[in-house]
Structure 1
Amino acid sequence: MAAAAGPATLPAVVEELLSEMAAAVRDGAPISDEHLLSLKFVFGSSAIQALDLADRQSITLISSPSGRCIYQVLGSSGKTYMCLASCHYCSCPAFAFSVLQTGDNLLCKHLLAVYLSQAMRTCQQLSVSDKQLTDMLLIERTQEA
């Protein structure tokens, strides 16, 4: 019997870590060294790179009137990647290889940066029409092909 399809979840330890970081930011406290060390332990060097992307405010939440949304991440190389937080997906090659193909990582740095920018409240926001959002996704798909 197949399991009920629901939103994809991260491992509990990652969910808890991001939740604690978000709570600290909400309370006006800095992110603790313990949280930063935990990020480094779980995600390795990707944690540093993702924190840098979040600090540089390289993440934009793009939403449309229908409620659809995607995250656009300006990578350190200057290339833009599309991330879907609801299903833990990123359009970058590292995600395809190290997350999907080999399973060596839980997330790529871009997707981790999305979650960190949510927790740290550094995410830019942009509202577009449904057609504009569809066009953005089609352009991304064409560039991947």
Structure 2
Amino acid sequence: MDATLPAVAEELLNEIGRAFRETAQVSDDLLSALKFVFGASAVLALDLVDRHSVTRFASPSGRMVYQVVGSSGKTYTCYASCHFCTCPAFMFSVLRKGDSLVCKHLLAIYLSRALGTCQEVSVPDQQLARLLLPEEAKG
């Protein structure tokens, strides 16, 4: 089961998903609310969603992990189930300073799921395990 965001954030993402399914767009009011709740990460996350930067890898055992290609081209591994990303901004702004709920990569995951734009890839368990290993551990 996924960990939960604060109720207001969860409800906003749910409302964005409902609105998009019904009208194929997201209203300016919802976009303003997104920016209010998530700050500057909202615009950056929407850009990642527009670029189709989010991929969910799922294995037959039911394990899954997300990868997001950031604006710099670097790929970050994210765990939506526990709201964790490997990017430096997550470490600093979310964990250390506590001034953000999530980084732009995690928000892009939540938005791409709400909008139905997340790319889905099925992989064997062995390949999923390789995705989880840090680059320096592979060498």
Range class of TM-score, shorter chain: over 0.9
Change (3 A) 1:128 1:117: same
Any idea what the Cα deviations from partners look like across 1:33-53, whole Å, max 9, x if unmatched?
Answer: 111001111122110000000
Any idea what the Cα deviations from partners look like across 1:51-104, whole Å, max 9, x if unmatched?
Answer: 000111100010000000011000000000011111001010100111011101
Alignment gaps of 5+ in structure 2: none
Matched, 1:105 2:100: yes
RMSD: 1.5
Identity %: 62
Any idea what the Cα deviations from partners look like across 1:81-137, whole Å, max 9, x if unmatched?
Answer: 011111001010100111011101000000000000001111111111000000110
2:61 matched residue in structure 1: 66
TM-score, normalising length: structure 1: 0.90
TM-score, normalising length: structure 2: 0.94
- For 2:71, the aligned partner's letter is S
Contact 1:82 1:140 in 2 (8 A): no
- State the distance in 1 between where 2:50 and 2:121 align: 18
Number of equivalences: 138
Matched, 1:75 2:55: no
1:12 matched residue in structure 2: 7
**12, 25, 41: which one aligns with 2:20:** 25
- State the distance in 2 between where 1:95 and 1:50 align: 13
Contact 1:62 1:126 in 2 (8 A): yes
- State the distance in 2 between where 1:105 and 1:141 align: 28
